[in-house]
Chains A and B, each alone.
Chain A
Amino acid sequence: MACKNCTNCGQPDKIDKIVNKFKGDPTELIHCLQLVQEEQGYISQDAVKKISVSLGVPESDIFSVVTFYSQFTLKPKAQYNIEVCMGTACYVLGADKSIKKFEEKLGIKVGEQTEDNKYALCQSRCLGCCGLAPVISVNGQIHGKVTEDKVDEILSKLK
């Protein structure tokens, strides 16, 4: 299948390329899903079908793996993915208060996405930077010592 982003570059579809790398190897399912998600930001139904054929894993099994691991999502990702760490150290230092503030400001709850797909708010269980607690991560970039009063400042930078 040709590349979907444009109709004339003649490149093979990137998802096909990824999926073909693991042909016939069901043990690489998680790795394959990770690469697919990195490419398209989520796991599309189309991709699930391709993975199923190539790796030889039933679609239902793929679905059960995708929903088991918190890394995978079946919905397209937002432009800014705000992840508030609720690990113990961050929690003790008030991460729950900044989550409330984010929820208020964005008008969504944890685990939701704004309608324009601009912001997604989720909580994570320890980003491993407890020395900088409370910590948040925006699209993978770590911000340390983010207390509730820093929320406005962070959001103002994510326009």
Chain B
Amino acid sequence: MTYKELVELREARLKEIDVRFNKNSPNKEIMVCSSTGCKSNHGDAVIKAFEQALKQNNITNVTVGRTGCFGLCALGPIVIVYPEGTFYCRVTEEAAKEIVETHIKNGQVATKYLYDPEVPTQTTKADIDFYKKQHFIARKDSEYINPENILDYVALFGYTALYKAVTEMTPQGVIDEVKLSGLRGRGGAGFTTGVKWELTAKETAKQKYVVCNADEGDPGAFMDRSIVESDPHKLIEAMAIAAYAVGASKGYVYLRAEYPLAGQRLEKAIKDAKKYGFLGKNIFGTDFSFDLTIKFGAGAFVCGEETALMHSLEGKRGEPRNRPPYPAQSGVFKCPTVLNNVETYANITEIIKNGGEWYKQIGMGKSTGTKVFALSGKVRHTGLIELPMGTTLREIIFDIGGGVPNGKKFKAVQIGGPSGACLPEDKLDLPVTYDDLSANGAMMGSGGLIVLDEDSSMVEVAKFFLEFICDESCGKCTPCRIGNKRLLELLNKLLDGKGTMEDIDELEALSHFIKENSLCGLGQTSPNPVLSTLRYFRNEYEDLVKNAGKPKTPKYRINKEKCIGCSACSRACPVKCINGEIRSPFEIDEEKCIGCGTCQRTCKFNAIEKV
């Protein structure tokens, strides 16, 4: 492949998919999201329904295609109609027929299937609140690309960054650019990527490796899956650039076995990239050669830890080992190895295209660029969001996520997966950066954000994560293997109502011990959920001791100004403790109330408040 051929390839494809960018195109293209979320919502059947409806109506200037993920999985299947870019949600087979009828035949927007049918002005992705504050780098362009077509990627200037790197830049030049960008690892620890590359480049070994950690194990995080499924070539190109920078000729993607679709897509993408000469021998006519292989994980959370991952790559038990030596000196098969996660790589091509200086301008302080978060739990809009570093938690949860549903009160947000922490309401204005989070006992982790409302018991949440850790601890070192088990026993004792105040102190002391003495990152962060809930919600632990294991029964009260006296709550109450006269405010008998919260869920006027 020469540069001229690359440009020709791009321009030829751009002409073919002109409809996606040219608002005046006479043609139309209906693109259906083809990622796991939308697929499991019968996305493939929707594609068939569109094709059928078009055929029945003898429409020939409209094609049906597939795109990558939009991050709005809860409202799937998502469909975009080009050239207008109309954004449809919850598209069933029935809806497909209607969209063809209303939109394609009659040229009108099918408002029923818009993001918010009550706001018919929000027709394109750019109009929608959920996307307004977002800034796309790692997930850029996925709405224009069919993930299974390499030419779509080339059309959007794909593989030009690789060309630029191998023909116009020296390996050190690439490293300098990445260092200048300030990019830090998006997998958890946040180590500076450029420095990691430089350390590996300095090694003189003949064989070096580039590895991608796609073993996304944090429950609640799925950005890496989405990137691999939506834009696999972005990962391939970035890994090739990294290989050029450090002097590696072979790469591995360590992919979670639970992600079969990502595996299929990546496999096809690697095959196509080889066919076009973006992978293989003498890339772009230079003497740089690079080959890439997928290795599937087999379901072990600890394999997200770098040394464990490398053991697993070698076909062994995924147990971590002591560092040093670091992977940069001795990694896969004892050769110098660069290891980054998917999202980190997904930033590389844009950094090479636009320069490190450009990237550095985005974000805040020492946390540059953007971060993809997986927002879920008790929040109105769940999904993947990409934001400049330094966005506050409040903006994320309330402006983008739409706040807590069903009139409930926000209680905490769990950030960073099992190694992360729960942050309470008064931390909502915290800018999300590596340093601000760690200063508050939390960590970026892989970017899972799980919103908890007033009904969630923080001790139960801590127990949930500890159970996870106990399952997933590899067992190699004692503090993690036995320490976490003891923590879990203490939590269970408290929840059973047999705990004492001393147990709470013990819990805290043991947590610190595990943090300081565990072998790897998993153990060193495993008590974080306990420590952070102790730090911010200690009263809930103490209440368990005082009330013999029962969390304080919540009390409810009716706000007399909001209550219209409809009697819905009174009829729903299982102990019949709400009384009053129709059309005047009702009242709860607090003596009889068992605190079940049914009334609050029933009330349509948000008139029932927790005391």
Contact = CB atoms under 8 A, between A and B. Distances in A.
A87 B220 contact: yes
Given A71-B257, A125-B468, A141-B40, A131 B382 contact: yes
Interface of A: 26-31, 33-34, 57, 64-65, 68-72, 86-89, 91-93, 124-133, 140-144
Contacts of A68: 300, 317-319, 474
B222 A130 contact: yes
Contacts of B318: 68-69
A57 B220 CA distance: 36
B382 A89 contact: yes
A128 to B, nearest CB: 4
B37 interface: yes
12 contacts: A30-B295, A34-B298, A64-B317, A68-B300, A68-B474, A89-B377, A125-B219, A126-B222, A128-B225, A128-B256, A130-B221, A131-B74
B127 to A, nearest CB: 21
B383 interface: yes
A88 B37 contact: no
Given A89-B219, A130-B222, A125 B471 contact: yes
Given A30-B295, A33-B298, A68-B318, 16 more contacts: A26-B315, A68-B317, A87-B219, A88-B417, A89-B220, A89-B377, A91-B464, A92-B378, A126-B220, A128-B259, A129-B36, A129-B37, A130-B73, A131-B37, A131-B74, A142-B36
A57 B76 CA distance: 46
Contacts of A127: 258
Residue in A64, A88, A132, A133 whose Cβ sees the most chain B Cβ within 10 Å? A88
Given A88-B220, A125-B472, A132 B377 contact: no
B41 interface: yes
B342 interface: no
A92 B377 contact: yes
Interface of B: 36-37, 40-41, 72-74, 76, 216-222, 225, 256-260, 295-301, 312-319, 333, 374, 376-378, 382-384, 414, 417, 448, 450, 452, 456, 464-465, 468, 471-472, 474
Given A128-B222, A129-B73, A144-B41, A88 B315 contact: no
Given A87-B219, A92-B456, A126-B220, A131 B383 contact: yes
A92 B414 CA distance: 11
B450 to A, nearest CB: 5
A140 B260 contact: yes
B45 to A, nearest CB: 13
Given A29-B315, A30-B315, A144-B40, A132 B74 contact: yes
A30 B41 CA distance: 32
B291 to A, nearest CB: 16
B76 to A, nearest CB: 8
Contacts of B468: 125
Given A69-B299, A132-B73, A27 B377 contact: no
Of A33, A126, A141, chain B has the most CB atoms within 10 Å of the CB of A126
A126 to B, nearest CB: 4
B555 to A, nearest CB: 23
A30 B36 contact: no
B37 A72 contact: no
B301 A125 contact: yes
A18 B486 CA distance: 43
B217 A65 contact: no
A132 B37 contact: yes
Contacts of B73: 129-132
- Most A Cβ at <10 Å: residue of B221, B298, B382: B298
A127 B259 CA distance: 8
Nearest to B420: A88
Contacts of B36: 128-129, 142
B317 A34 contact: no
A125 B299 CA distance: 9
B376 A130 contact: yes
A143 B414 CA distance: 25
B315 A128 contact: no
A86 B374 CA distance: 16
Contacts of A70: 298-300
A130 B220 CA distance: 6
B225 A30 contact: no
A65 B298 CA distance: 10
Contacts of A71: 257, 297-299
Contacts of A34: 257, 296, 298
Please indicate which of the listed interface residues A34, A87, A92 has the most CB atoms of chain B within 10 Å of its own CB. Answer: A92
A28 B314 CA distance: 7
Nearest to A133: B376
Contacts of A92: 376-378, 450, 452, 456
A100 B41 CA distance: 25
Contacts of A30: 295-298, 312, 315
A63 B60 CA distance: 58
Given A72-B298, A88-B219, A131 B72 contact: yes
